[in-house]
């Protein structure tokens, strides 16, 4: 089964999320998708910077959809 990573960035302080973003890589396993999701979320928060993340109380969620669901 193939999996597609879907990321969502949300602001807890503003109580809203931007529309989900579909990652452009198709993964061969749920494990690979999930571990990449954590890494991408961490990298995105780092790139946005602590001040911006703190000010907006950002969180990044993700899910791994089977490719038949997309």
Compute mean pLDDT per 10 residues along the chain, 70 residues long, and list them. 96 94 95 98 97 97 84
- Distance (Å, whole) CA 9 – CA 44: 10
Note the pLDDT of residue 68. 72
Who's near 26: CB < 8 A, 6+ residues apart? 2, 3, 4, 67
Note the pLDDT of residue 69. 58
Q: Record the tokens describing residue 38, joined without a space.
A: 């954590």
Cβ proximity of 5 and 37 under 8 Å: yes
């Amino acid at each position: 089964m193939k999996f597609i990573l879907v990321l969502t960035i949300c602001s807890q302080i503003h109580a809203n999320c931007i529309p989900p973003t579909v990652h452009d890589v198709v993964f061969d396993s749920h494990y690979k998708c999930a571990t990449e999701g954590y890494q991408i979320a961490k990298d995105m928060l780092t790139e946005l910077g602590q001040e911006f993340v703190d000010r907006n109380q950002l969180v990044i969620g993700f899910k791994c959809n089977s490719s038949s669901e997309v």
